[in-house]
Structure 1
């Protein structure tokens, strides 16, 4: 029978191994956060585009950078013991949400539509469902979409300054549709619910931009719908 000392020695070995693993995870997630910042820097050009800026080329540049993200997620997945995803997931939760937001922004700017969870998973080289292994958690995907709306409402304002009067109409319609979609959900996650409550301000901000453009005769009144 093991002595008390032996039992606590085993505990310490377990704690040491857990600490070492967390440090390894931090190294990878630090690189992930750096990559997110680099992609954001590329996409910030949309707010003050230079003459001749191609939205398609900008999106392609940003999307190509996800290749490095795929490698980082591969490294991360290799470090997580089987069935231990949720033990450590808080360590990469926020960076995953930022990747979702960036992927969603790219797809909207390029195609004018909502990104799917499957598309984000493919960009990052991970699974969609938890039973398939390392995956994009649904709550993180939804939070990423909500964070994207704040960037879009900002773009709606800045597009007017750049003389692009149709972009705010497109954004307003999209954000309103997203709001309607989220209202279908019975959200249990407190953080997610709180962020969803803030979506109404993004919707209102976009609607005000479109209303102002309509009053000034810069877009057709029918575009409000």
Structure 2
């Protein structure tokens, strides 16, 4: 084969590679858009926990059940992404689904907290989303994405504590205060080098303060329940809930 023919076919190959990459990117973005749409639906459902309820535990459990159903749809699109994204190019495209994955980790952790009052593990969050746990498995749940989700959880629970008082539930802030304090203690064990994580961690410290102010206000008004919060670990072990 002459050098001229070789050069021509090299250009053909470059063109085919570019077309393949464009198709992969478009497929990735289309799947991410679907995940984002379902995520918004989950958010809408779970925002209802802030409304006033007469039978709160029953109604909140119903919201969690509906959210779990939508997570099944999320799993399907992550499974498609796992097929589209080449195993060795995960971090090349990671920015495409990074934000929505962080939000879904927060929503998964919120559902687990509302159901059983425990901190979700990375393994369980990955199982809820239908993603592999380890990087060597290819398409996986990035640890920093999971941690960002947990930090978002503290903001939502801070709001939940305040609205619980508004709705006349004075026991809820006590549980939330205990949980968020343990979450804060856990994050303090980490040497956070990621700028985004460090900044988000500042919001956790702020949320701890807000919740403590709620508890203090209940105390000085004589509304703080006398029942003690069980001092058990808020981290669940195992792979599924």
Output the aligned Cα RMSD.
2.0
Does residue 59 of the first structure (1) align with residue 78 of the second (2)?
Answer: no
Contact 1:214–1:221 (8 Å) recurs in 2: no
**Alignment match, 2:30:** 27
Contact 2:170–2:225 (8 Å) recurs in 1: no
- 1:24-53 CA distance string (max 9 Å, x none): 111100010110110111111110134335
**Alignment match, 2:196:** 191
Q: CA deviation at 1:67?
A: 0.6
Q: CA deviation at 1:213?
A: 0.6
TM-score by length of 1: 0.92
> Separation in 1 of the partners of 2:195 and 2:150?
16
TM-score by length of 2: 0.87
Question: Gapped runs of 5+ residues in structure 1?
Answer: none
Does residue 49 of the first structure (1) align with residue 83 of the second (2)?
Answer: no
> Separation in 1 of the partners of 2:200 and 2:228?
28
**Alignment match, 1:207:** 212
Change (3 A) 1:175 1:185: same
Report which structure shows greater RCO (CA 8 Å, sep ≥6). Answer: 2
Question: Gapped runs of 5+ residues in structure 2?
Answer: 232-241
Contact 1:100–1:144 (8 Å) recurs in 2: yes
Alignment length (residue pairs): 225
